[in-house]
Amino acid sequence: MPGEPVAADRISAYFLRERRAVPVALDDETLTVAVVDPFDATVVDGLRLAARRRVAVEVATASDIEEALARLYAAPGQRPAPSTATPLNSTSPNCVSGPATRR
């Protein structure tokens, strides 16, 4: 998940919370977003219209999305709760490294 909000000037935090989505990258052509339900057309269409970019979807767990939203879109002066998630890294047995492929 990103260290700072991505496309915050284009996409409201309210929409992201309601649809359980977190933008993770934005370039000239594509907005990459992590979502809980990759088949929710409302999320993809809304993000495509707001960002005016093609949308690439990545799947994340609900807890990862909620934690990222709390951390990235906390109200000014409000600190998010500390993470209870176990970070995945290259030494974690749950981490798969290598290039991702899409079908």
pLDDT in tens, the chain (103 residues): 766 667 777 788 888 988 999 999 989 999 999 999 999 999 999 999 988 999 999 999 999 999 988 888 776 555 544 444 444 444 444 444 344 444 4
Give the pLDDT score at 65.
Answer: 92
Structural domains of the chain, count: 1
Residue 7 lies in a domain: no
Residue 35 lies in a domain: yes
Residue 58 lies in a domain: yes
Structural domain boundaries, residue 35: 13-72
What are the E-state strand segments in the chain?
21-26, 30-35, 54-59
Residue 2 lies in a domain: no
Residue 87 lies in a domain: no
Residue 6 lies in a domain: no
Residue 44 lies in a domain: yes
Task: List the CATH number of the domain containing 30.
Answer: 3.30.300.160
Fill in the amino acid letter for 26: L
Residue 8 lies in a domain: no
Query: Could you give the CA distance from residue 76 to residue 98 in angstroms, rounded to a whole number?
Result: 38
DSSP-H helix ranges across 41-89 = 41-51, 62-72
Give the pLDDT score at 76.
Answer: 59
pTM higher than the cut 0.75? no
Give the pLDDT score at 79.
Answer: 52
Give the pLDDT score at 102.
Answer: 42
In whole angstroms, how large is the CA radius of gyration of the chain?
14
